[in-house]
A and B are shown apart, each in its own frame.
Chain A
Amino acid sequence: MSHTPGRYEHTNSPDSRSPAAPASCGDAINGTARSTKYSGGRHAPGPTGGVRRQPLAPWFFLLPFGVIFLTFTLYPLGYSVYLSTRQTVGTRVNVFAGAANYLDLLHDDVFWGSLGRTVYFAVCSVLVQLPTALALALLVHHRRLPGRMVFRTIFFLPILVGPVFIGVAFRRIYGVQEGALNQCLGLLGIPAIDWLRNPDVVLNTLVLTALWMYAGFHMVYFLAGLQGIPVELYEAAAIDGANAWQRFRAVTLPGIWPIAAFLMTASTIGSFGLFDLPWVLTDRGGPGRASTTLMVYLYERGFLAGDLGYAAAMGWLITILLLAVSLLQLRVTRAWAEEM
C-alpha cells in the first residue's frame, strides 16, 4: 500500500516516535501517549493542519551504506546489464547490439564446453571435498585423538595461503620429471604423469588441488556442526544398542545436514567462480581448452579480447544458471532432510 504525503497512522506504542522528532501536534492536542508516524514528505501537515518535520537522523545513518550500495552494487549491476546489450572493442568503443551477445552465446561451443568442465569440477568438488572434509571433521572431533588441536590447525592452514601462491607452488609439485608427486609415484614404480599438460588429466589435477585447499576449510564447518549435536543423543542411541554406523546415520548425519546442505550450495557457487587456480596452475585454462572454466572464458573474452559486452552477457547467463542450480539443490537437499 502506498502512502501519500500528509497521510498518517496512529499507533498505540509510545516508543514508536523517533527521539529526534519534535512532539507531534496530535500529542499536544490529545494530551495522550499516542504518537503519529509520518510516512510522507519531509514536512507533513498534522491533524490540525500544522507542519511537522520528518526525522532525518535515520536517513543520515543509512546514507553511507546507501551510497556504497548504490555505487558498488546497484550501479555495477545495472551497468553490466547495459553493457551486455553492447558490442565493445578496444577500451572505449561500443555500439548497441541488442540481444546479439546472448544469442551468440547460445551458439558458442567454447562457452558450453567451459560450462561442462565447470559442472564437472563442481560435482567433483561436492562429491570429493565434502566427504573428505566430513571425515577429517569426525577424526579431529574424536576426543581420544592426541593433538587434535594441532591437526585442526594443520588441516585449516591451506585456505590461508592465497590461490595464486598455491598455483605457483603446485606447479613444482606437479612437474613431470622433477615434481615431488611424480618422484613419489616413481618410488612405487608408477610412470610419470603429466599432471598439467595432459588434457585428459588436467581437470582432475585441479580437483585434487582444490581438495587440498578447501577440505580443511569445510572441515571447520562440519566440526562446528558436530560440536552442536547433544552428547545425550549419542548416549541414548548407544543405550538402544546402535552401532557406530547407525549412530552416524541416525544422529550425526541429521545433525549436520543443514551445514552439509549449505556447504553443497556454497561449493557449487564457488566452483562456478573458479578462476585463479586454472589461470595460474594450468596457464590460463590449458592445455588447449582442457581446464578452461566459465570464469576463465569470461575473463578471456572480456579482458583479453576486449569484448566486455559479451563477457557481461556471459556473466548474466552464468548468474541465471547458478540461480537455477542453487534452487534445485536446495529443493533436493530439503527433500532429503525430510526423508531423514
Chain B
Amino acid sequence: MLRSIVRRISQRMDDFPPGRVPLLLLLLAATSGSVVVVRSVLPHEPGLRVWTFVHLHSEEFRQRLADHPDADTIQVQNLGTAMFDRLALALMTQTELPDLVEVEQSVVGRFLRGPVQHIPFVDLTERIRQEGWDRRCVAARFARYTVAGRIFGVPHDLHPMVLVYRPDALASLGYRPEDLTTWSDWVRAAQAFYRPGPLGTPHWRRGLALSTVEGYTFLSLLWQRGGDVFDAEGNVIIDSELAVDTLEFYVSLFRLDPPAAGPALSSMLEDFSALARGQFLAILAADWMLGTMQLDARSILEARVQCRPLPVWEPGGRRTSTVGGTAMFIPKGCADVDRAWELLKYLYFDRQSLVRRFQAHSIVPALTDVFDDPIFHEEVGFFQGQRVGELLIELAREVPPVNGSPYAPEAYKFLDAVFPDVIAGRRSPRTALDEVARRLREVIARDQRAGLQPVDG
C-alpha cells in the first residue's frame, strides 16, 4: 500500500518538467518558509524566555531555576553581546521578544530614547516602590535605569570600587596603608614607587595603572567626587568645573615629575601580571575584577595583594565609586508581565543565589538584605586573609548614584574619542570636555527639534 503510494508520488514527480531535484528543492523552500512564517505569526508559547549576554548569569539562572515549580516552561538564553542587536530588532519588529532581558548599563541608553511612553520596557516604578525594593536595595543603583522619574530596570549588582595594591611594595617605600587616605597621599607614594625606563621593560615601574585611551576610570573618579555626565533632569554637565578639575587631576598623574601613574596595559590580565611583577603599585578595581583576579590570576597574585577603599578627595569624603553594571528589564511585548515580574524577583533577589554569586565572583548585589550572610565576613586567603567582603559591603552604601540618560552611550563614546588626545597633551581637559558637552547637546537638540526628546509625551 505504502509502496504503491510512494511509487505514484515518484511518477508524478517525474512529470514535473525540470525534474525531481528542482521540485524537491521547491518543496523544501516552501516548507521551511511556511514554518518561519507560521512561527512568527503564532502566539507566544506559554512559557517565559529570559535573555542574557553573560555566561556567568545564564549559569546562575539555570542553577536557580532548578528549584522553580515551572522550570520546564522557562527558557534561559545566553546570546553574548550580539544580544543587544537582536533585542533591538525584536523590539522594532515586535517578534521573538523575550519576557525578561538583561542589559548592560553602557548600552541601555539606546533602548531608552524617545518619549517615555515609547520606551519599549515596562515601567516598573510602582511595583518597585509598592513592594519596597527601592528601600531594600541600594537606592542609588536605580538611577541609571530611570528616565523622567520612571524606573525601567532592576539592578543586578552594585560594583563598588577599591584599590588593589602590593602591601610589600608599599612597606618597602616606608608607607603604612592606613596612613594613605587621600588621593594626595597616594600620589606621593606612587611617585616614590616610580622607576623610569621604556614601557614593558623590567625596570619600568608606575604607581597607579590608569587608562590612557578610555574615559571610564576618569568617570569613576568624577562620580566619586559627586560629579556626573548628566544631572538628574538629564541636562549635560560633563563640562562642569568639577569635571574639568577631575580630568586635570587625572592627566596630572601622568605629567608629574616623577609621574604617579602609567598607562594601563592592553588587557586586564596584563595589568594583573604587571602587578604581580611589581611593575604597578596599585590598580583600581570593581568587585567583579576581584573575582576575575581570583579566577584568572590566582597563580601569580595569590596572597600578594590587598584591598583598600579608594583614596578620598577630601577628609571624610566618599571612599568608593563604581564601574559597570547590569539590570533586568521586561519588554512591553511580554504576554504576562506579572509572571515575568515574579520571575525577575526569583532570579535577582534570592539570598542563596546572591551568596553563591559573591562566593564565586565577588559580585556585591544591590540587595542589602543579604549583607548579614557570613560569606561577606569571611577571611579571604587570596587577599592575605583580609575580610574583603566586609570592606565591600561597608563601601556599598557609599556607591555614588550615576544618573541615567538615553544619551549615555553617546556620552561615553564622545569622551573616549577625545580621551587619548587629552592624555597626550594635544587638547586641554577644558576644551575636550567642552567638545563632549557640545556634541551631546547637539544630539539632544536634534531629537528635541523632531519632538523626540525623552520626556513624558
Contacts of B409 in A (CB 8 A): 304-305
Interface residue stretch chosen among B137-145, B152-160, B267-275:
B267-275
B88 and A91 contact, CB distance less than 8 A: yes
Of the candidates B26, B413, B424, the one having the most CB atoms from chain A within 10 angstroms of its own CB is B413
Check if A197 sits within 8 Å of B118, measured CB to CB. no
Size class of A's contact patch? 35 or more
**Interface pair B266/A174, CB less than 8 Å apart:** yes
A33: interface (CB < 8 Å): no
Chain B CB within 8 A of A290 CB: yes
Are B120 and A92 touching (Cβ within 8 A)? yes
From residue 391 to 426 of chain B, which have CB atoms closer than 8 A to chain A?
A: 406, 409-410, 413, 416-421, 424
Neighbouring A residues of B200 by C-beta, 8 Å: 176-177, 182, 186, 191-192
* A304 adjacent to B107 (CB under 8 Å): yes
- Assess the B85–A303 pair: CB atoms within 8 A: yes
The residue that B417 contacts in the complex, of A95, A191, A289, with Cβ under 8 A, is A289
Q: Is the CB of A288 within 8 A of B120?
A: no
Chain B positions within 8 Å of A175 at CB level:
265-267, 270
B88 touches A306 (CB 8 A): yes
Residues of chain B contacted by A286 (CB below 8 angstroms): 213-214, 416
Question: A194 to B262, alpha carbons, bound, how many Å?
Answer: 13
Known contacts: A64-B26, A288-B420. The answer to whether A92 contacts B92 by CB under 8 A is: yes
Contact in complex: B91, A93 (CB < 8 Å)? no
- Expressed in whole angstroms, the Cα–Cα distance for A300 and B450 within the complex equals 21
A288 touches B417 (CB 8 A): yes
CB distance from B409 to the nearest CB of A (A): 5
**Is the pair A87, B201 in contact by a Cβ cutoff of 8 Å?**
no
Interface string of A257-275 (1 = CB under 8 A from B): 0000000000000000000
- B207-259 interface (Cβ within 8 A of A): 212-214
B265 with A176: CB separation less than 8 A:
yes
The distance in angstroms between the C-alpha atoms of A286 and B419, with both chains bound, is 10
Interface residues of B in 318-338 (CB under 8 A from A): none
Q: Are A177 and B270 in contact (CB under 8 A)?
A: yes
Residue of B nearest to A177 (CB): B200
Chain A residues whose C-beta falls within 8 Å of the C-beta of B192 in the assembled complex: none
On chain A, the residues within 8 Å of B419 by CB distance are 287-288
User: A93 contacts B114, CB within 8 Å?
Assistant: yes
**How distant is the Cα of A4 from the Cα of B25 in the complex, in angstroms?**
36
Q: Chain A residues with Cβ under 8 A from B421's Cβ?
A: 199, 288
Chain B, interface residues (CB within 8 Å), range: 35 or more
Is B361 interfacial (CB 8 A cutoff)? no
User: B18 to chain A: which residues have CB within 8 Å?
Assistant: 61
**A14 contacts B by Cβ under 8 Å:** no
Q: Are B198 and A64 in contact (CB under 8 A)?
A: no
- Interface SS, A side: loop
Highest count of chain A CB atoms <10 Å: which of B112, B198, B199, B213: B213
Complex Cα spacing A197 to B213, Å: 7
Asked if B413 contacts A304 (CB within 8 A), the reply is: yes
Using known A-B contacts A177-B200, A306-B113, determine if residue A171 contacts B120 with beta carbons closer than 8 Å.
no
Q: How many A-B Cβ pairs are below 8 Å?
A: 128
Q: Does B119 contact A (CB under 8 A)?
A: yes
Complex contacts, A19 vs chain B, CB 8 Å: 17
Q: Is the CB of B113 within 8 A of A171?
A: no
Is B344 located at the chain interface by the 8 A CB criterion? no
The answer, yes or no, to whether B47 is at the interface (CB within 8 Å) is: no
Q: Are A178 and B270 in contact (CB under 8 A)?
A: yes
* C-alpha spacing A197/B265, complex, angstroms: 9
Contact A304 B418, beta carbon cutoff 8 Å:
no
A289 to chain B, nearest CB (A): 5
Partner of B120, one of A90, A97, A110, A176: A90
Q: A61-B18, A93-B114, A95-B450 are in contact. Are A192 and B266 (CB under 8 A)?
A: no
B196 to chain A, nearest CB (A): 13
> A179 within 8 Å of B by Cβ?
yes
Q: Is B29 an interface residue (CB 8 A)?
A: yes
- Asked if A97 and B450 make an inter-chain contact with CB atoms under 8 angstroms apart, the answer reads yes
* Chain A residues whose C-beta falls within 8 Å of the C-beta of B269 in the assembled complex: 178
CB of B450 within 8 A of CB of A194, answer no
Please name the residue on chain A nearest to B414 by beta carbon.
Answer: A110
A327 at the interface (CB under 8 A from B): no
CA distance A178 to B272 in the complex (A): 12
Query: Is B111 part of the contact surface with A, judged by Cβ < 8 Å?
Result: yes
Contact A90–B199 (Cβ < 8 Å): no
**Are A199 and B450 touching (Cβ within 8 A)?**
no
The interface of chain B, by Cβ under 8 A from chain A, is: 17-18, 22, 26, 29, 84-85, 88, 91-92, 107, 110-115, 118-120, 198-201, 212-214, 263, 265-267, 269-270, 273-274, 406, 409-410, 413, 416-421, 424, 443, 446-447, 450-452
